Structure 1
Amino acid sequence: MELKYKLCSLTDLEELRLISEQTFVTAFEKDNDPVDFKNYIDKAFAKEKIKEELLNKNSTFYFAYQNSTIVGYFKLNVGDAQTDLKTDESIELERIYVLAQYQGKGLGKHILDYIKGLALSKSKKKLWLGVWEHNTAAIRFYQRQGFVKFDTHPYYIGEDEQTDWLMGYDLSNL
């Protein structure tokens, strides 16, 4: 399976906003209070919010393509754009999503392998992420890929405080 990747720019703003919202809604809408969820979506995936993230020099978004079709995307943060660690030797995988119709085909592993390569090319020692404690399928996926839980942090969907597991991958394993 061959995937190609494209670093997103402002010209990708609307397409990035749409895939960001679509994949998040598909993944989590059913598990959250409708009012809290709508409030979260309206803020987190607003055009201006995504534009601000795209313009942050410490954040990068990439589209993943199979042939010429976008199948997913991811967002990486370094430096002060990271939500927790904020160390020079770490890189945060803040978002990684595969569109529903492409899930279960091994794309997530391919995308994650590409991300590990990007992290190494930036001389990072640790790749880390936050994953909702009730997203057991994602937790199992990350564990199979060598990630280990090292902490937790609160994550808010509207007014609803949830808990994310912080999971890390030691890049010296590569």
Structure 2
Amino acid sequence: MELEFRKGTLSDLKVLVHISKSTFSESFEKDNDPDDFRKYIDSAFCEEELSSQLNNLNTFFYFVYLENILVGYFKLNIGDAQSDLKQDDSIELERIYVRHVYQGKGIGKYIIAKVKQLALKTGKSFLWLGVWEKNTRAISFYKEHGFVKFGKHPYYIGKDKQMDWLMRYELPQNSDKSMN
């Protein structure tokens, strides 16, 4: 499978808003209160919010294409852009989404390999993420790819307090870097 990864820029704002809303809705709308969910979507994925994130030097969006078709995206954060830990030696995978019609085709394993490759280039010690504790399919996927649970934190969809597992992947360290 030949995927193309393209870093998002401010010129991609409308595309980012669309894929963010659609993939998040496909994944979680059925499991949430409709009013809370709509309010969350409208604030978390509005142009103003995503524009601010695209302009943040510590946030990186990547679009994923299969045969020139946008099939997903992911978001990485370092430094103070991280949603929770904000440790200098960590990088956060805040979002990783594949459009529903392309799930189950092995695209996720290619995306997570690309995420690890990009994370390794940062020289950080570990890659971490938050995943909803009820999303057993995603938890199994991350475990298969070397992530382990190390904590949890609350995540709100409107007024609904949900719990995310925090999972981490230890990044292999270049022997030259570890000697410094």
Decide: shared fold, TM above 0.5.
yes
Q: Deviations over 1:33-76 (max 9, x none)?
A: 11111110110011101101101110010001112111100000
Q: Which has the larger radius of gyration?
A: 2
- Shift in Å, 1:89: 1.3
| Aligned amino acid, residue 50 of structure 2 | I
Residue deviations 1:4-50 (CA, integer Å, cap 9, x gap) = 11000011000011000000000000000111111101100111011
> 1:104 maps to which residue?
104
Q: Which letter does structure 1 place at the counterpart of 2:142?
A: Y
Secondary structure of 1:172's aligned partner: coil
Which residue identity does 1:125 align to in structure 2? S
**C-alpha separation in 2, matches of 1:173 and 1:145:** 17
1:76-124 Cα deviation digits (max 9, x unpaired): 0000001112112110000000001110011001000001000111111
Q: CA deviation at 1:150?
A: 0.2
Q: 1:150 to 1:67 in 2, by over 3 A?
A: same
- Note the 1:5-154 alignment, pairs <5 A: 5-154=5-154
Structure 2 unaligned spans of 5+: 175-180
Name structure 1 gaps, 5 residues minimum: none
Q: How many residues align?
A: 174
Q: CA RMSD in A?
A: 1.1
Could you tell me the TM-score, scaled by structure 2's length? 0.94
The answer to whether the 8 A contact 2:123-2:173 is kept is no
> d(CA) in 1 for partners of 2:167 and 2:70?
27
**CA distance change for structure 1 residues 75 and 126 in 2, over 3 Å: closer, same or farther?**
same
CA distance in 1 between counterparts of 2:82 and 2:11 reads 24
SS at match of 1:123: coil
Give aligned-pair identity as a percent.
59
What SS does the aligned partner of 1:88 have? Answer: coil
CA distance in 2, matches of 1:124, 1:48: 30
TM-score (norm 1): 0.98
